Chains A and B, each alone.
Chain A
Amino acid sequence: MLKLLFLSLALTPAATLFTWNGAVAWPLFDGITLLFDLTPLAAFFMALLAIGAPFVALPMLRGKSDEPTYALYAVLLLGMQLLLLAGDFIGFFIGWEMMTWSSYLLLLRSPRIDLEGAQSYILFNLASAFLLLAGMLFLYSITDDFRIQAIDGLLTPDKWALFTLFGLAFLIKVGALPLHLWVPRSYDQAPDVFSAFLSALMSKMGIYGLMLLPLLFPDGLSEISGRFLNGPVAGYVLAWIGVITSIIATFKAIAQEDMKRLLAYSSIAQVGYIVTALGVGSSLAIGGALFQALVHTLVKLLLFITIAGIILQTGHRRFTDLGQLISRMPISFFGVLIGIIGLAGMPPLPGFAAKYLMYIGLIDAHWLLLLAALILSSTASFVYCYKLIYGPFLGHANSPEAKIATEAPWHYLVPQILLMGMLVALGIFPGWAIEVLIDPVLIGLGMTPIGAPAWSVLATSYGGYDGIAVMGVFATIFVLITALFFLGRGRMHRATSSYDLSFCGEVPTAATPLHYGAGMGRELRRVPLIGWILRHTTINFYSGLMHQTQATAGMIGTLYGSNPQVWILFAVLIFALTLTVQMLTGA
């Protein structure tokens, strides 16, 4: 009964999305009114929440009912809906705080959480909340208004201050480098299913916030500091932040030996692409960013839920301890397979449509160096995608549990199958997503819609592709060649044992270490750039920063010697300097 109630609570975002009509104004004290409305932009993210919330809730229903978790999850959903509906910064901030605290308490309920993980989560997220608070109060101090709307007539320094405050607040949530420190820890230590929610949906709230910035500054980001080539300068900086985040996070992901940590770093990288595309700010790129947000939500839900199923069935989370689950967990295998194809952005799945729009957006803006960097991180992601499927499913079983594991329970499989279906359908009909989900947002933001001549066609001014043609040709050839192969002469034998390998002329035994899962990617360190990235950590960056600050402080400290005469000398000198400067400038 309680479980049914919980499941229906998880459907509330969908209910809000479909039944919301008209704006609500709630007069508070002193003429301050809370506004709630479902803008097209918010509706897009509400749709993501509506898809994701029940899928995450379903696996949570397994076993004994856990009332506190259910209650916190409900508060979390409420907070996120509030944040999306808010038409002013007060409602937005309340929603943001509800989201932060309820997710923190949910995180604390994990048996694996340690002090460091919990602290970094709450500290970074509070920092984000306070930056947001500072931003909104600053906005109020200038405009006497909390509403989220276009602000005109600001001075350039004010714009920069607002942009930086809001930008930093949302970049922390997104996990941009070097503000990502909390992401791998919390995604790793959170309850296995809840990680899916953190990665797929909560990171999108940061993206939603970043997408409010063009709303605040009506000419996009370009009015903050002019334009560079075909895009805004401020966006160029944002785009580089996104792409550097994604490159470093991709290489870090390759080096991970734990499935959930790998996925956490991959989330940072994938959300980095979105930040890059947002920086371009053209309608193609924003369309790509939204598409990527959609695909990333589906893919990460699928992957985290599948991985949670594997961890549940085997009790292992490291690549070294798993292997050869393909025959024991076939549905999970397909879940991860579809997931990584989406993650890698391979046609014919929709990850490619998102990549295509983002690439075209960058080419259209003539930002080719960014494009090269984006391609680097997106190609490097193939390695961790392969690791993610090889480690658990292929190779040799490396632990007793992996040898006897069975398929995950239906609570995990139902979301997996539905998500796989959604991804394949989106791959065939990228034009549908453009027309139904993305174009309304672009129109809402006052941009040119991308448009789609047919549901299966993704069309841009740079050319497009037909999802049905790609999927159809590939599937037809695959069926034909398989049929021809079976019709042809000759027999096929299954190798008698899994040790029947070409192994340097020797016969390996069960004692031979044959599983390559943990070592994969280790040799990448020999490439100088990757080695350099992997040798450095963000913690070292912060401690380096601390040492530098201390050294600087120490140096400045030496100026304040114990000798009062030196102070007086300095005071006189500074006074004289100020006078000279004022005289020279004619003040």
Chain B
Amino acid sequence: MLHYFIDAFAMIGMSYFMGFLFYGFYRQFNARVQRRWGPSIFQNFFDNMKFLFKTETIIHGPMFFFGPMIIFAGAVTTVLFVPYLKDSIWLQGFSQSGNMILIVYLLVVGPLGNALAVGSSGNPFGVMGVTRGLTRLMGLEVPFLLGLALVMVQHETASVHAIMAAQPDFAHWNLVTNPLAFLVMILPFMASQHASPFDVVGAPVEVYAGPRVEFSGRLLGILMTQNMMMTVAKLVLIADLFLGGATTIWELIAKTFALFLLTAAISTSFPRLRTEQTVDFFWKIPLGLGVISVIATIWFPWS
């Protein structure tokens, strides 16, 4: 029991720590690309703390308050169901009682809970943002899960542990043995991290619209925290599935950072697409590639 508690706290702490450092790095990376100095790498941590210690928070009824709590609970549950290390008793959380499909579904539980809060705020621009988010989800989930399903078919299991164990060295990484699956899911994966060009516009633009438009103070802090943790959980999941998992914390950081860097590089290079363009893109390019890989790896006997 005590082990579970320490382990859970370690996972939550680790996700938070990696989350703000990665996002801090992203801000600086973005700034350098745009020839600015950019803020310190700890800026996201400072911002987050500033929000979490605000004295005033405006709410619009009970559901508005519970939404961020649901999304936070969803994010932490996701973190605790992703195994962070392989061949270790640490940083496992409850991953033995879960599987890949469960994790993918847990990723969306929180956002849907928060959508209730946005709806109960009564701001039509917020709901517009939620609808855009759900529309984009509809686009990205199909190729994303198809890519993961190719891996599940390859290893005949949905258990993340078993898939990690089947990739002992570089030659057995799914990135190497099943590159098509990786290509199918990588762009939707970037979209699931709210990275440009597939992001949904947030609040801070000229005509502000988006899911966060009504949130302020500590609730905004909660939303920011869960976003950072969720990003790390997704990166770890993909590192587990395609990059062979990690045996040490440093290896984990290196692999997730490599994935994050890829996302960041693409995200700084391309401007945002409109939501329907995003969906159409996902249903044409990654899904088309997915269909090709299904035909190539499953239908034909040479596989």
Q: How far is the CA of A475 from the CA of B113 in the complex (A)?
A: 13
Q: How far is the CA of A368 from the CA of B294 in the complex (A)?
A: 7
Q: How far is the CA of A327 from the CA of B73 in the complex (A)?
A: 24
Main secondary structure, interface of B, reads helix
CB<8 Å pairs between A and B, sample of 24 = A229-B298, A359-B149, A369-B294, A372-B149, A379-B142, A386-B130, A395-B122, A461-B157, A462-B158, A463-B99, A465-B97, A466-B97, A470-B97, A470-B98, A474-B73, A478-B70, A481-B76, A493-B57, A494-B58, A502-B203, A504-B125, A504-B207, A523-B275, A528-B280
Select the stretch in B16-24, B214-222, B262-270 that faces chain A: B214-222
A58: interface (CB < 8 Å)? no
Q: How far is the CB of B131 from chain A (nearest CB, A)?
A: 6
Check if A379 sits within 8 Å of B137, measured CB to CB.
yes
Q: How far is the CA of A502 from the CA of B129 in the complex (A)?
A: 14
In A375-434, which residues have CB < 8 Å from any B CB? 375-376, 379-380, 382-383, 385-386, 389-390, 393-396
The number of residues on chain A lying at the interface, defined by a beta carbon within 8 Å of a beta carbon of chain B, is: 77
In A447-500, which residues have CB < 8 Å from any B CB? 457, 461-466, 469-470, 473-475, 477-478, 481-482, 485, 488-495, 498, 500
Q: How far is the CB of B135 from chain A (nearest CB, A)?
A: 6
Interface membership of chain B positions 129-149, coded 1 if the CB is closer than 8 angstroms to chain A and 0 otherwise: 011101101110111011001
Check if B105 sits within 8 Å of A346, measured CB to CB.
yes
B156: interface (CB < 8 Å)? yes
Check if A463 sits within 8 Å of B157, measured CB to CB.
yes
Q: How far is the CA of A372 from the CA of B81 in the complex (A)?
A: 24
Q: How far is the CA of A24 from the CA of B43 in the complex (A)?
A: 78
A178: interface (CB < 8 Å)? no
In the complex, chain B residues whose CB is within 8 Å of the CB of A160: none
Q: How far is the CB of B150 from chain A (nearest CB, A)?
A: 7
Q: Which residue of B lies closest to A381 (CB)?
A: B138
Q: How far is the CB of A504 from chain B (nearest CB, A)?
A: 6
Q: How far is the CB of A12 from chain B (nearest CB, A)?
A: 39
Check if A490 sits within 8 Å of B57, measured CB to CB.
yes
Q: How far is the CA of A466 from the CA of B153 in the complex (A)?
A: 22
Q: Which residue of B lies closest to A471 (CB)?
A: B77
Interface membership of chain B positions 172-200, coded 1 if the CB is closer than 8 angstroms to chain A and 0 otherwise: 00000000000000000000000000000
Check if B121 sits within 8 Å of A375, measured CB to CB.
no
Known: A481-B72, A504-B207. A394 touches B218 (CB 8 A): no
Check if A380 sits within 8 Å of B112, measured CB to CB.
no
In the complex, chain A residues whose CB is within 8 Å of the CB of B54: 490
Select the stretch in A63-71, A512-520, A544-552 that faces chain B: A512-520
Q: Which residue of B lies closest to A482 (CB)?
A: B69
A527: interface (CB < 8 Å)? yes
Check if B125 sits within 8 Å of A503, measured CB to CB.
yes
In the complex, chain B residues whose CB is within 8 Å of the CB of A337: 116
Check if A462 sits within 8 Å of B123, measured CB to CB.
no
Q: How far is the CA of A492 from the CA of B94 in the complex (A)?
A: 34
Check if B99 sits within 8 Å of A464, measured CB to CB.
yes
Q: How far is the CB of B244 from chain A (nearest CB, A)?
A: 19
- A355, A498, A501: which has the most chain B beta carbons within 10 Å? A501
Check if A347 sits within 8 Å of B298, measured CB to CB.
no
Q: Which residue of A lies closest to B121 (CB)?
A: A501
Q: How far is the CA of A495 from the CA of B294 in the complex (A)?
A: 53
A534: interface (CB < 8 Å)? no
Check if B60 sits within 8 Å of A465, measured CB to CB.
no
Q: How far is the CA of A466 from the CA of B99 in the complex (A)?
A: 10
Q: How far is the CA of A369 from the CA of B289 in the complex (A)?
A: 12
Q: How far is the CA of A375 from the CA of B101 in the complex (A)?
A: 11
Check if A383 sits within 8 Å of B131, measured CB to CB.
yes
Q: How far is the CA of A369 from the CA of B290 in the complex (A)?
A: 9
Select one of A344, A347, A385, A491 contacting B102, CB under 8 A: A347
In the complex, chain A residues whose CB is within 8 Å of the CB of B139: 527
Please give 9 more A-B residue pairs, beta carbons under 8 A apart, in addition to A469-B97, A493-B58, A524-B276: A347-B106, A383-B135, A393-B120, A394-B120, A470-B97, A490-B57, A502-B125, A516-B127, A529-B280
A356: interface (CB < 8 Å)? yes
Known: A383-B135, A386-B134, A521-B131. A502 touches B69 (CB 8 A): no
Binding site for B on A (CB under 8 A): 229, 324, 326-327, 337, 344-347, 352, 355-356, 359-360, 363, 366, 368-369, 371-372, 375-376, 379-380, 382-383, 385-386, 389-390, 393-396, 457, 461-466, 469-470, 473-475, 477-478, 481-482, 485, 488-495, 498, 500-504, 513-516, 520-521, 523-524, 526-529
Known: A501-B214, A528-B280. A462 touches B57 (CB 8 A): no
Check if B137 sits within 8 Å of A382, measured CB to CB.
yes
Check if B72 sits within 8 Å of A382, measured CB to CB.
no
Q: How far is the CB of B93 from chain A (nearest CB, A)?
A: 8
Q: How far is the CA of A355 from the CA of B283 in the complex (A)?
A: 22
Check if A502 sits within 8 Å of B213, measured CB to CB.
yes
Select one of A363, A395, A493 contacting B152, CB under 8 A: A363
In the complex, chain B residues whose CB is within 8 Å of the CB of A359: 101, 149
Check if A491 sits within 8 Å of B55, measured CB to CB.
yes
Q: How far is the CA of A386 from the CA of B65 in the complex (A)?
A: 18
Check if B146 sits within 8 Å of A368, measured CB to CB.
yes
Q: Which residue of B lies closest to A514 (CB)?
A: B124
Q: How far is the CA of A369 from the CA of B124 in the complex (A)?
A: 37
Q: How far is the CA of A514 from the CA of B157 in the complex (A)?
A: 48
Q: How far is the CB of A324 from chain B (nearest CB, A)?
A: 7
Q: How far is the CA of A470 from the CA of B157 in the complex (A)?
A: 20
In the complex, chain B residues whose CB is within 8 Å of the CB of A462: 99, 152, 156-159
Check if B63 sits within 8 Å of A326, measured CB to CB.
yes
In the complex, chain B residues whose CB is within 8 Å of the CB of A526: 274, 276
B128: interface (CB < 8 Å)? yes
- B76, B102, B279: which has the most chain A beta carbons within 10 Å? B102
Check if B222 sits within 8 Å of A375, measured CB to CB.
no
Q: How far is the CA of A396 from the CA of B218 in the complex (A)?
A: 25
Check if A470 sits within 8 Å of B125, measured CB to CB.
no
Check if B61 sits within 8 Å of A326, measured CB to CB.
yes
In the complex, chain B residues whose CB is within 8 Å of the CB of A363: 149, 152-153, 158
In the complex, chain B residues whose CB is within 8 Å of the CB of A482: 66, 69
B228: interface (CB < 8 Å)? no
Q: How far is the CB of A586 from chain B (nearest CB, A)?
A: 37
Check if B149 sits within 8 Å of A383, measured CB to CB.
no
Select one of A326, A368, A491, A493 contacting B120, CB under 8 A: A326
Q: How far is the CA of A523 from the CA of B58 in the complex (A)?
A: 30
In the complex, chain A residues whose CB is within 8 Å of the CB of B63: 326, 394
Check if A477 sits within 8 Å of B72, measured CB to CB.
yes
B287: interface (CB < 8 Å)? yes
